[in-house]
Amino acid sequence: MPSAHSVKARTAPSKAPVIKSLLISLLRQPGHIIALLADDIDGVLQPGLRQVNLAELDTRLFAQAASLLADWHSLQKAIDLASVWPAFWRVFWMSLPDPGNSTTPVMPQVAAIKKPVATAAHPRAFRGTKYQPPKAASPALDLCTWLADQRLLDAFFARHDFAALPALDAQGQLIVLAADALPPTTASLFFRHWQTTAQALPVFPDGFRRCFLWQLRACSAEQQLAWLQIWRRHCGMQVDDACRSENLGLLAHLCALSPAQSHAAELAQLLPAIRQNIFLHVLMRELQGQLSDQQMSVEQLMRLHGLSADDVRFEFYLRNILRNLGRQVSVEYSLIGCLLYESSDIGELRDYVLTAKHDCQDVPVEAIVRACDAAGIKSWVFLWDYCAELPGLAQLLRETRWEKFSQQAAETWLNIFYKFIDEDEKEKLQAKWQVYLKLFSFCHDVLINLTAERQDKLARIWSWFVGGWSNALTLPKAVHDFLPLMHRLCLPPFSIEIDYGHSLVNIIETWPEDKRHEILALDDRVWRQFERACRREDNVNLLTYGIYSLANATPSLLRTSFLATPARFFKTACLLGSLHFERRQLFMRRQLNTEWFTLDWQSMPPQTACQRLLELCEASGLDSPLPRRLREYLAGDLNLSPQQIARHCKLSLSRLPALRLRAIEAALWIEMDGSFQLRDASASARHALRLLAGMNHFSGRNRQSLRRFLINARNGDTLAYIQHPLNRAWYAKHPGVQQAIWQTGLLRKVQIGQAELTLAFEHDPFEVLMMGSYAGTCLGIGGLCDYSTVACLLDANKQVLYARDAEGRVVARQLLAIDEADQLVCFWVYPQKISQELKAAFKSYDIELAALLGLPMYQDSDDSSYDVTTILAQGWWDDGPWLEE
């Protein structure tokens, strides 16, 4: 609907478009024309209408406007169609667009009559009242609504009796329809009107008129000619009729969605016929047909077309480009991502890989390729995504000397960028990223001067350090202080495999800044102890958890303990990390309220302090830290000189840090053992207690089942789970499984090198629960899937196979299971770094066991084609079948 302001801008030589637009504008606001006819013109016109050339507004035009307004009012109140039939057609023809006028006049909005609000004056909604206000009379016809909607009007024409009331043209003359003609439509009447009034209009082909012209009725002549050319090119396609028909339907649909834009259709016709249809389908589905020449150019489309000869991949790339475009991500950036995706030779098409949330103007393709080649990574596209997420990454990639990196170090260096991408903490990480951009060169320069086998350790320590340091403002000073220590830990005599995880960061981040020289001055002996404590990944996790809780609860204890007794500190932190987070926090709060931490040991007289230490040790069941002679002196059995007393007290109080840690350990065992009373039974029983302590409420029934097992073990019924009704029901459901053989297994001795190993099922349930800790996998204490060991123990369809040496030490282990189809499923052998001879021994054992059971071995590579159910447990970690030959 043109506004009054737009009238002045038109320069058509004829007054008709201006007059019609003005009349329709006045028609939408009837009060204006009434005032205009009744009073001085210039005095009542709105400021926008005053811009109209008043010389053109003669008396005849105002008469037409008044007549049109009267017709509209008569249609609003019509109850008889015949009486307002001429007025209906006058308004109809007046509302059609004129040739050359690119704007379609819009009919007035017809608002539904609102229901009166219940008030005291109109209490229709109040119960108990007899008075009801009269309802306003509704017109029998709704002609104004029909005129305002083309679809309603066509439906009205379809059921109207044109023989009784024939259609009228713009001059009020009858329109004669053939006897066998279909009822007219808005489109057919529109074309008839154009043919009789616009002599200069081109004679469009019937196919174009039928499929396109009605949608283009309000467009300029240039747009109509552009669509005509599109239609002609469509007609010239050398394709089968089915493809041609589908293509025509898509073009017509696109024209209806966006008649004023022909760019998308023109782009589509540059493609082969099949890809034309793909292009149009995807465009209408993703962007509702809206695509301008500023969004996608011909050159960009041709680059996309040339990426792959596979139409499926073409559609995949196009779909992601247009989806990103809908998020204001440029086609050029998305196209670079598609190029890297195709060059990576990734077979699987995954939409999320090419999903971009932000646009990026600088993508260093050459640097990305060099970085990924150095790391041995085929998927280049993830760095393309990071370039948008991390401003400045492009320059960092260019400045990195990838040719100086070992392959593993390059891969670790690239993985550092992932630590800065988290939507939940985006603002915090972006600030940290800006700091990192200024710091990376320090580590980079140190790293490239290391030997290849030591580069990866520094890259891993650097990754943990940068990712784990919480305060971005203090990070530059921390890098300056601790980078020499990180470099030192990467040199001999330290191992190249152990990187300490977050545990190192948790220690040094809580250290007072003015006392960092203390930790930097520690000799290699302390760091070698730390390295031994971190020899397994599960131990690193436990250390990380325990050190975090100690640092959070009492940083001073962490500092004094680490300096005075590092070995005991690592042991206590590892044991403390066995508790799950909530339980660990509560435990430390309780410990801080004990006399071990509340007493002011520094201000107490030495002899009094030693006496109190002795009492606390006796209460806690700890060995006394006091020398024998001092104990005898305090008991009155020996006389000592003041110098001897002072020397013995000094020695005793120097042991306070270690004694506090021992007190925490004793309290931890009481906390974990509770009513089970199993901590003195065996090392494997203590392991089971720690395993249970680390399970939180998310472990569900596995935690409950392990608790029930420990209660039975306390009562002397360790193997009660074997006869559990659910396990018996599983055997009853699988009569083909020979229970005696499956529960007993085989006993085989094999010679591996100079050692003789024994392969057998483990029948000690506490030893079964150590399967993850023995192999250093995620099923051990502190591992991500520690809950799974409960299922491996308690479920009747699972057995654990150990390989032990002559001293009984576990060398390797394997989980075996029987699925619901009575197949023997053999899972991976751990640890994976064992000899091929030992792997072959496990394979031979599996084959022999399957033959003895009379069950087939599962050999399919599809992990989803077997079903190993849980019985007493709720969940377990399935790491896939072991199918090595």
Helix, strand or coil, per DSSP, at residue 750: strand
CA distances 832 to 241, 498, 829, 847, 860, Å, are: 61, 17, 6, 20, 21
Residue 793 and residue 815: Cα distance in Å, rounded?
Answer: 10
pLDDT at 676 over 90: yes
Q: Give me the pLDDT at residue 225, please.
A: 80
139 within 8 A of 133, measured Cβ to Cβ? no
Say yes or no to pLDDT of 249 above 70. yes
Instruction: Tell whether the model's pLDDT for residue 43 goes beyond 70.
Output: no
pLDDT, position 123? 55
User: Looking at residue 239, what is its pLDDT?
Assistant: 77
Is 866 exposed, middle or buried, given 0-12, 13-18 or 19+ CB atoms closer than 10 A? middle
pLDDT at 195: 57
**Residues in contact with 837: Cβ distance below 8 Å, sequence separation at least 6, in sequence order:** 752, 753
Q: What is the mean pLDDT of residues 189-200?
A: 58
pLDDT at 57: 47
Phi, psi dihedral angles at 505 (to 5 degrees): -65, -40
Q: For the chain, give me the number of helices (H) and strands (E)?
A: 43, 5
The pLDDT score that the predictor gives to residue 19 is: 42
Segment 48-77 shows an average pLDDT of 63
Lowest mean pLDDT among 139-143, 517-521, 695-699: 139-143
Instruction: State how far the Cα of 307 lies from the Cα of 343, in Å rounded to an integer.
Output: 9
Say whether pLDDT at 499 is over 50.
yes
Instruction: Return the bridge partners of 802, or none.
Output: 760, 813
When comparing pLDDT for 345 and 766, which is higher? 766
In this predicted structure, the answer to whether residue 154 has a pLDDT above a threshold of 90 is no
Whether the bond between 493 and the residue before it is cis, its omega within 30 degrees of 0, is yes
- pLDDT value at 30 more than 50: no
Query: How much is the average pLDDT of 811-827?
Result: 95
Per-residue pLDDT averaged across 419-433, rounded?
A: 89
**CA separation for the pair 416, 409 (Å, rounded):** 11
The most confident of the ranges 145-154, 373-382, 819-828 is 819-828
Among the listed residues 765, 782, 690, 785, the one whose alpha carbon sits nearest the alpha carbon of residue 721: 765
- CB count within 10 Å of CB 586 equals 12
Q: What is the pLDDT of residue 885?
A: 62
Kindly report, residue by residue over 590-604, the tens digit of the pLDDT: 999 999 999 999 899
Tell me what pLDDT residue 131 has.
Answer: 58
Give the pLDDT band (50/70/90) at residue 118. Answer: low
> Which pLDDT belongs to residue 754?
87
The answer to whether residue 112 scores a pLDDT higher than 80 is: no
- Given this model, what pLDDT does residue 468 score? 92
Q: What is the pLDDT of residue 245?
A: 84
Q: What percent of the chain has pLDDT over 90?
A: 59
Confidence of residue 6 (pLDDT cuts 50, 70, 90): very low
Which of 96-105, 119-128, 835-844 is predicted most confidently? 835-844
Mean pLDDT lowest among 9-23, 289-303, 346-360:
9-23
Put simply, whether the predicted model's pTM sits higher than 0.75 gets the answer no
Question: What backbone torsions phi and psi does residue 816 show, to the nearest 5 degrees?
Answer: -115, 150
Q: Of the ranges 103-107, 543-547, 872-876, which is most confident?
A: 543-547
* pLDDT in the model for residue 31: 38
Task: Give residue 744's pLDDT.
Answer: 94
Token pair, residue 329, equals 């991500």
Rounded to the nearest integer, the mean pLDDT of the chain is: 84
For residues 53 and 4, what is the distance between their CA atoms, to the nearest angstrom? Answer: 12
Q: pLDDT at position 34, please?
A: 36
Q: Is the pLDDT of residue 236 over 90?
A: no
Residue 798 near residue 868 (C-beta atoms within 8 A): yes
Which pLDDT does position 37 carry in this prediction?
Answer: 35
Is 80 exceeded by the pLDDT of residue 86? yes
Q: Find out whether 841 and 801 touch, Cβ atoms under 8 Å.
A: no
Beta strands 798-804; 810-818: pairing state: antiparallel
Q: For residue range 849-875, what is the model confidence (pLDDT) as tens digits?
A: 999 999 999 987 666 688 999 999 988
pLDDT number for residue 59: 61
Higher-pLDDT residue of 233, 339: 339
Above pLDDT 70, what percent of the chain?
Answer: 85
Q: Report pLDDT digits (tens) over 322-364.
A: 999 999 999 999 999 999 999 887 778 888 899 999 999 999 9
What pLDDT is recorded for position 683?
A: 94
Mean pLDDT across 1-15: 34
pLDDT tens profile 270-288: 999 899 999 999 999 999 8
Is pLDDT above 60 for 788?
yes
> Are 321 and 304 contacting, i.e. CB atoms less than 8 angstroms apart?
yes
**pLDDT confidence of 53, banded at 50, 70, 90?**
very low
pLDDT above 90 for 384: yes
Q: Is the pLDDT of residue 834 over 80?
A: yes
* pLDDT bracket for residue 45 (50, 70, 90): very low
d(CA 873, CA 704): 9
Within 10 angstroms of residue 636's Cβ, the number of other Cβ atoms is: 7
The residue type found at 701 is: R
Per-residue pLDDT at 199:
43
Residue 253: C-alpha distances to residues 160, 280, 493 (Å) = 29, 9, 73
pLDDT grade for 58, boundaries at 50, 70 and 90: low
Q: Which range among 46-50, 181-185, 305-309, 585-589 shows the weakest confidence by mean pLDDT? A: 46-50
Q: pLDDT tier at 17 (50, 70, 90 boundaries)?
A: very low
